[in-house]
Structure 1
């Protein structure tokens, strides 16, 4: 559910939305979400001074109150 939100949000921002891929690795306390994007889109997704990815993290932090898990998001270029 969270991974789908991140993917949908990233596709709205990206110049190459068809290349967005998201992987979710669930742990006991932390779920890591890895967002893969075209190299040209990585900067857009992070934003100036990390503001774009910070906004995504802020929205997702609300989910912590609901299910008690923490979420970590990483943006990586496609290889």
Structure 2
């Protein structure tokens, strides 16, 4: 659920939406890492000015924590 949202949200922000790939890796029962891969020219757009865009995604992920009890770490990497 959260990965689909982040992927759709990221595709709306970037210039090359076909390069966006979101994966999730479960570390244990209470922690997971979400990796957002995007074109290197779009990394700045995903992070946003002063980190506002990535912070918005992190806030959304924290909202999901209340529902499923899993903490999420979001990492943005260039393809």
TM-score, normalised relative to structure 1: 0.95
**Which residue of structure 1 aligns with residue 5 of structure 2?**
5
**Which residue of structure 2 aligns with residue 69 of structure 1?**
70
Aligned residues: 78
**Which residue of structure 1 aligns with residue 47 of structure 2?**
46
Cα RMSD for the two superposed structures: 0.7
Structure 1 gap ranges (5+): none
Using the alignment, how far apart are the partners of 2:27 and 2:35 within structure 1?
A: 14
Structure 2 gap ranges (5+): none
